[in-house]
Amino acid sequence: SALSSSMDEKFLKCLLQDSNAPSDIVFTKEDTEFSSVLQSTIINLRFSTSTTPKPVAIIKASKYSHVQCAVLCSKSFGIRIRIRSGGHDYAGLSYTSYDNDQSPFVVLDLKDLRSIRIESSEKTAWVESGATIGELSYWAYQESQNLGFPAGICPTVGVGGQISGGGFGTMVRKYGLAADNVIDARIVDVNGRILDRKSMGEDLFWAIRGGGGGSFGVVIAWKVNLVYVPNIVSVFTLSKTLEEGGSDLFHKWQYIGHELSQDLFIGVSIQPALNKAGNKTIQVTFSSMFLGTVDELIKTVSHGFPELGLQEKDCTEMSWIDSVLYFANYPLAEGINVLRDRTPEPRSYFIGKSDYVKELIPKERLDEIWKWCMEENNVFLVIEPHGGIMDEIEETSTPYPYRKGYLYNIQYFENWEDDSVEASKKHISGMRMIYENMTPYVSKNPRSAYVNYRDLEIGKNDNASNTSYLEAIKWGSKYFSDNFKRLAMVKGVVDPDNFFYHEQSIPPLIMSK
Ligand code: FDA
């Protein structure tokens, strides 16, 4: 529902006045650029249709005072706020709202708040939230070819959202999550104050490093540790169909993917394909990054995973920054400047769901899983190992609880181009079928999920004025396990009136004294 026009005017006046902001940071539906600004970082077309609820305004902050002003004006006018950094939220929660009370909302877009300052003597960086993972990787590498950052695999993801939910990629086994490498932060709280680690206190600092974006305030910058990467890393991608022994290799991988050297990451993707005879099969693809040379890689793999039969010709040595391009499927020949381009991913309609696995899936059950995947032509599974340093970090050390004992994460992902409602229904139901069928093989009580692969089907808040901790724990414990209670208690202290609300924000739990 739109604001009444007089309120609209007052709200706009508040935004413009308090911030001394030039009017080109606030865009309303009357502005010709409104749509292009809104769409600029939307990559999931499911939430960019004519029926998708739209904000009453977009505030494109380029200074911290714009963020403060957006929070204070929105609060005093009872308008909700959606915080957007890179816009990659799977459920579009950074730019749309399905709130049942249909409150008007604004999008606070941090895309232009993106400076990165490297402190070379400390090997740290202050990164503003609107910067992308690609930009952070690029500038770390510019500082030194031995500096990198352990984040997720897609360079256009925003550091604001990703670090808020954890963040894992090819260095997760060596250095943990992106959030594990945060040492300070700046946040605008519900009262419009800018707080750092010291002034926010350790509870809030704990909560923002993995408790999911959009619940505690607006993170404007993170201070992160940059990590050591060698001059040369090695990569390989090897695919085997079922006929070529792909199933047995996956079975073996389950034993060792989490146990191999911390320098070695071997991820797996499972995809329907056609075999040489033109029949349907499954292609099991191993994609790997090793922090060392090809010689060392071959030694490590022939010791821990000899069945893979890895040979020198399968492997390529490159710089760490080129491996960032390699995993993003960017052509190496185009060079690393592409990491600064901020060119959005190709847009499509997509849905994702996730699971964690603690016990090996028995060999004889794998065929059943491959059958379901073959029935659904488009769903693919992206499977990423844990283990390594993840086993050494306490499960309460950040809100992300999947540490010792978790072997791997599965992401079910499906994307499509057809904009019809039928296409969308068909794809979503195929995905649900596989997810349901997987129930016996994945973590239980609760069945876990990764907050950065946001999935509103596991449960959500109803509306802002009526969130219930006891209702929310049903889905909240799936993301955060026992850490959910502490998250809700922190929320009860820092935002008791639930201003920072969305469909899966942490509800305030207020303990009576
Ligand atoms: P976006 O701006 O949409 O924000 C996501 C959520 O955080 C929203 O709820 C938003 O309100 C909130 N938020 C954003 N900025 C905030 C801020 N400054 N302060 C407070 N709250 C804020 N993940 C991973 O771990 N490893 C991977 O390899 C990948 N790969 C990947 C590929 C692709 C193509 C996609 C679409 C996504 C991934 N992800 C991933 C998941 C990704 O980490 C997740 O979607 C992040 O939340 C996206 O962060 P953005 O800033 O881009 O999103």
pLDDT tens per residue across span 453-462: 999 999 999 8
Residues 13, 90 share a domain: yes
Residue 390 included in any domain: yes
Regarding the beta carbon of 89 and ligand 1, being less than 6 Å apart is answered yes
Residues 180, 54 share a domain: no
Residues 212, 154 share a domain: yes
The set of residues, in sequence order, having a beta carbon less than 8 Å from that of 347 and lying 6+ positions away, is: 42, 43, 44, 45, 48
| Domain boundary residue, one of 393, 424, 441 | 441
What is the model's pLDDT at position 377? 77
pLDDT digits (tens, 9 = 90+) for 127-160: 999 999 999 999 999 999 999 999 999 999 999 9
Nearest-angstrom CA–CA distance, 90 and 157? 11
Residues 242, 222 share a domain: no
Q: Residue with the nearest Cα to atom 43 of ligand 1?
A: 162
Gap from CA of 148 to ligand 1 centroid (Å): 20
What is the model's pLDDT at position 5? 67
Q: Residue with the nearest Cα to atom 34 of ligand 1?
A: 154
Regarding the beta carbon of 170 and ligand 1, being less than 6 Å apart is answered no
Residues 275, 247 share a domain: yes
pLDDT digits (tens, 9 = 90+) for 383-395: 999 999 999 999 9
451 token code pair: 């907050």
Residues 221, 282 share a domain: no
Regarding the beta carbon of 92 and ligand 1, being less than 6 Å apart is answered no
Residues 289, 163 share a domain: no
Residues 252, 212 share a domain: no
What is the model's pLDDT at position 8? 77
Domain that holds residue 237: 233-318+345-441
Residues 359, 275 share a domain: yes
| Domain boundary residue, one of 228, 247, 275 | 228
What is the model's pLDDT at position 1? 36
Q: Quick one: which H or E segment has residue 425?
A: helix 421-437
Nearest-angstrom CA–CA distance, 121 and 109? 32
Regarding the beta carbon of 155 and ligand 1, being less than 6 Å apart is answered no
Gap from CA of 327 to ligand 1 centroid (Å): 18
Residues 102, 46 share a domain: yes
Residue 95 belongs to domain with CATH number = 3.30.43.10
Regarding the beta carbon of 456 and ligand 1, being less than 6 Å apart is answered no
Residues 34, 105 share a domain: yes
Regarding the beta carbon of 86 and ligand 1, being less than 6 Å apart is answered yes
Residue 153 included in any domain: yes
Ligand 1: which atom is nearest the Cα of residue 86? 52
Residues 133, 40 share a domain: no
Regarding the beta carbon of 219 and ligand 1, being less than 6 Å apart is answered yes
Ligand 1: which atom is nearest the Cα of residue 44? 36
pLDDT digits (tens, 9 = 90+) for 25-60: 899 988 999 999 999 999 999 999 999 999 999 999
Regarding the beta carbon of 441 and ligand 1, being less than 6 Å apart is answered no
Burial 109-147 (b: 16+ CB within 10 A, else e): bbbebbebebeeeebbbbbbbbbbbbbbbbbbbebeeeb
| Domain boundary residue, one of 199, 228, 257 | 228
Structural domain count, the chain: 3
Residue 188 included in any domain: yes
Residue 375 included in any domain: yes
Spatial contact of 130 and 113, defined as CB atoms under 8 Å apart:
yes
**Binned average pLDDT, 10 residues per bin, the chain of 513 residues:** 64 75 80 94 94 94 94 95 97 90 90 96 97 97 97 96 98 98 98 98 98 98 98 98 97 97 98 92 98 98 97 98 96 93 83 97 95 89 98 98 98 93 90 96 97 97 86 97 98 97 96 73
Q: Residue with the nearest Cα to atom 26 of ligand 1?
A: 152
